[in-house]
Amino acid sequence: MSKGRVLLVEDNLDNRELVRFLLERYQYEVITAQSGREGLELARKEKPDLILMDLSLPEMDGWTVAGTLKQDAVTADIPLFALTAHTLPGDRKRAFDSGFDGYLSKPINVTTFEAVIHDAIHKRSDMKKE
């Protein structure tokens, strides 16, 4: 049984396939998008349990998609994590200000990956109980 459905928005093929591989290895169901616009459409349509999104994306960048998702009642509660090599303090602040709930640094740390994904999804479950 799937542990949850994750929407992965990443335009880089190698990164996308690595993250997909890790998620599937830990029994998550993966939906992928290759542009910000496609990610936004799939988030609205599929209402995944978690969204992992790159920041530099074609058509619509990750910061813009994040702001749009968080302003829409349909998608605002979906945990949204940035998948990014932009990890300077200013980058983090900009990501949180745009609406991201957290982030995963690239290159992906495979030893902590599963725990980060698990916590990201279960924070949402906790909030839903309130």
Contact residues: Mn ion, CB under 5 A = 11, 54, 56
11/29 with CB nearer Mn ion: 11
Least distance in angstroms from the C-beta of 33 to Mn ion: 12
Closest CB to Mn ion among residues 59, 114: 59
Q: Which is nearer to Mn ion, 103 or 121 (CB)?
A: 103
| DSSP string covering 60-127 | S-HHHHHHHHHHSTTTTTS-EEEEES--SHHHHHHHHHHT-SEEEESSP-TTTHHHHHHHHHHHHHHH
Place of tokens 């698990």: 118
CB of residue 66 to Mn ion, shortest distance in Å? 14
**59 vs 36: CA distance, rounded Å:** 6
Minimum CB–partner distance for residue 1 and Mn ion (Å): 32
Nearer to Mn ion, 86 or 92 (CB): 86
Output the smallest distance, CB 34 to Mn ion, in A: 9
Q: Which H or E run includes 51?
A: strand 50-54
Closest CB to Mn ion: residue number: 56
